[in-house]
Chain A
């Protein structure tokens, strides 16, 4: 009969712990192991952040270009060009191997920032099939300059107000306008 089986088990279990006065911690360990596995699988180890963009509203008219620097960073398949909308290309940085020259871009933008400390806006203009990753890396170089002072990695703001657009087709770029 089931009840006698249960009774026998109770007696057996009781005999097992007879004479011992320590806590039975086995169930606690079971719970802990389950918890550890649960938390391990739900844990997120990569931090997701966001970059805010400065896009124009769809119905806003094109404002008159203010005087001064209108910084444009044009990303092409062959390399990156840094240009001023009013005066044309300032510097072009050819690709280094398969990668764009982000270090060179950052360096030159620091120089530009030194000359025009009040300018905050920049436009990143890309060719049609440039990859999203390249856009983000370029925006990083344009927005911030991360110093190499381990372990702080101080960030210096360069041109945080970024708008995104189409790169002028080659040829028109030489005239510096759209």
Chain B
């Protein structure tokens, strides 16, 4: 039968897709927000993730605060609800080595492109106030990089 080339193609596709799905996805998918593109090339690590969408602030997938509730000229920089949520994360999902060393605790912020800096600044201030020493921003690799890749 003329099925043989078809099977060849399928086999190739399966192998290709298997190889490409092998790099583990650490950050949650970003269907509802568009995160900015960047030329940064540091791979994400397993950390606590703060996601800032156009409406909510989420910590590891659970909504903790609404953007609309943030008052624009609040003298208090730290978002109390977010800080409390981050404090509980401290105990559960951090690597054992990072439990005591404050400076080594990491948090990754995934923000929507359109997030104003005022909101972002407060999220970052809250992260440092909740004893996370390292703050990283999640970005998508820019397309021109694909040609340069590896």
Interface positions of A (Cβ within 8 A of B): 22, 25, 28-29, 32-33, 35-36, 39-40, 42-44, 46-53, 55-58, 126-133, 135-137, 139-140, 143-144, 146, 150-153, 155, 164, 166
Contact = CB atoms under 8 A, between A and B. Distances in A.
B113 interface: yes
Contacts of B68: none
A49 B116 contact: no
B129 interface: yes
A150 B14 CA distance: 31
B135 interface: yes
Given A28-B7, A57-B103, A153-B147, A47 B141 contact: yes
Interface residues of B, number: 60
B17 interface: yes
A36 B14 CA distance: 6
A44 B25 contact: yes
A58 B133 CA distance: 9
A137 B36 contact: yes
A134 B23 CA distance: 29
Interface centre among B37, B102, B137, B138 (most CB of A within 10 A): B137
Nearest to A135: B117
Task: Name, among B36, B42, B133, B140, the residue most crowded by chain A CB atoms within 10 Å (CB to CB).
Answer: B36
B145 A153 contact: yes
B44 interface: yes
Nearest to A148: B144
Contacts of A152: 148
Contact of B44 (A48, A151, A164): A48
B114 A50 contact: no
A42 B134 CA distance: 30
Given A53-B137, A150-B147, 19 more contacts: A25-B7, A29-B6, A29-B10, A35-B17, A43-B21, A50-B40, A50-B136, A50-B138, A51-B137, A51-B139, A52-B136, A53-B136, A55-B135, A129-B118, A131-B116, A132-B52, A132-B113, A136-B137, A143-B40
